[in-house]
A = this chain, B = another copy of it.
């Protein structure tokens, strides 16, 4: 997952736990296709919704969110990108959403004309887009059908590598089932991703604390006391 720093945990493993990952970092890199690398600081906008489409991007490291705004300022984060994900294909002449970094990030960018020319790149794109669509489908279920507590629980569970999916490894043999995670998103960004208000996110976090499922060490550091207990709250059981 791009939107967390799991400390010592390997991001590739973390990202593959829900089985929705083929575009592994370093494997389908744009650098092989002549892409240029660039670095962006936290909260830099890479492109705005409505900007003319010129380049296609691959997230190499860090985390990027894609969001759309309604005219009155309501915001929906539509994708939280992980290393290996691509963004900037729009199906039109203008980008359909804004791309903003959540942390210091490295991206590879490639000219759209170059994309057109390369068969190998097209093949890579198909794989990446397919994986991203699967995530978008899951997100639609979360937004359309899950309760506030299920949304927050699902969000936190996605940050725990190898847990919660069909290939969940379960608690450790000694019964230990806690996990430390560091968030790289503000409460507002989480709310805008989960289709909730910031007040609802805070209320649910307090509720999970009171029930003893999590412990909030700092605003961006959350200790999961019982991963299985949290997983039971995702609506997937």
Contact = CB atoms under 8 A, between A and B. Distances in A.
Interface string A131-151: 111101111110111100000
Contact of A236 (B70, B92, B131): B70
Contact of A76 (B22, B134, B140, B192): B140
Could you say which interface size class chain A belongs to?
Answer: 35 or more
B96 A134 contact: yes
B91 A141 contact: no
Q: Quick one: copies of this chain in the complex?
A: 2
Contact of A126 (B22, B79, B122, B137): B122
Contacts of A131: 91
A46 interface: no
Contact of A119 (B122, B143, B145, B236): B122
A82 to B, nearest CB: 13
A130 B89 contact: yes
A235 interface: yes
A126 B74 CA distance: 30
A70 to B, nearest CB: 5
A66 interface: yes
A77 B187 CA distance: 28
B92 A144 contact: no
A123 interface: yes
Interface in A6-44: 19-22
Contacts of A125: 126
A156 interface: no
A131 to B, nearest CB: 4
Pairs of residues from A and B, 10 with the lowest C-beta to C-beta distance, nearest first:
A144-B195, A143-B143, A91-B131, A129-B129, A91-B130, A119-B119, A76-B144, A89-B130, A76-B141, A136-B136
21 contacts: A68-B137, A68-B141, A70-B145, A71-B236, A72-B235, A76-B140, A78-B141, A89-B130, A91-B133, A96-B137, A122-B122, A122-B123, A126-B126, A133-B136, A136-B137, A140-B140, A140-B143, A143-B143, A143-B144, A144-B192, A144-B194
